[in-house]
Amino acid sequence: MDRSNVYNWLNIGEAYTRHRNDLEMIGFNDKDGPTKLSYLERALSVGEREEVFSNLKTMSKRDFAEYAKSGNKGVSDDVPFIEIRGHTVYVQGRRAIIVSKHFGKKYTNLLMGTVRVVSRAMERGGGIVAVHLRNRKEANRFKVQAKRIRAKMRRKI
C-alpha cells in the first residue's frame, strides 16, 4: 500500500475506535461505508452530534464528505435567519454561537434570552439598543420611561 492509503486507513481506524459506542448505537457496519469515517471528526466540528451520526448512516460517501466540509444538509432556501437549537445559535443555517454548558442555567438563559430578543427585532426589521443600568430599580424606572418615549416617537411617524 502506498503511504496515503495507509494514512487514510489509520485515520479511519482512529475514528472508529474513538466513536465506537456511538457507531454501534446507530448500527454502523462495514456495509455502510467505512471510508466515510475519515470525515467524521470534521463533520462533528461543524454539525450537531445526532445529526452527524444520522447523516453518516444514511448519506453516501460523497454527500457525507460535502456535509463535513460545509456543515450544510443541503437545506432549502426557507432557512430561518436566526435559529436556536439547545445551546447553539445558527444564523442563516450556519453555526454562529455555542454557549458552554459549564456557564450554568442562569447565565445560559440570560444569553439565549438576549439572542431571542435580537432575533425577534431583526426579523421585524427593528433595531437593538444596549443600555447599561446599575441595578434592578434603575432598570424598572428605565423601562417605564422607554415605553413612554417609544410611544411618543411612534405617534410622530
Domain count, the chain: 1
Does residue 2 register a pLDDT over 50? yes
Going by pLDDT thresholds of 50, 70 and 90, the confidence category of residue 71 is: low
Residue 126 lies in a domain: no
Number of H helices, E strands in the chain: 7, 3
Residue 96 lies in a domain: no
What mean pLDDT comes out for the span 35-46?
88
At 95-132, the pLDDT tens digits run 888 888 888 889 988 999 999 988 888 888 888 888 99
**Would the pTM count as exceeding 0.85?**
no
Are 25 and 45 contacting, i.e. CB atoms less than 8 angstroms apart?
Answer: no
- Could you tell me what percent of the chain has a pLDDT over 90? 17
Domain that holds residue 69: 1-74
Q: Which pLDDT value is given to residue 137? A: 96
Which residues does 111 contact at the CB level (< 8 Å), separation at least 6?
99, 103
Residue 137 lies in a domain: no
Residue 52 lies in a domain: yes
Residue 129 lies in a domain: no
Residue 9 lies in a domain: yes
Distances (CA, A) of 157 to 99, 129, 151: 39, 19, 10
Residue 36 lies in a domain: yes
Residue 85 lies in a domain: no
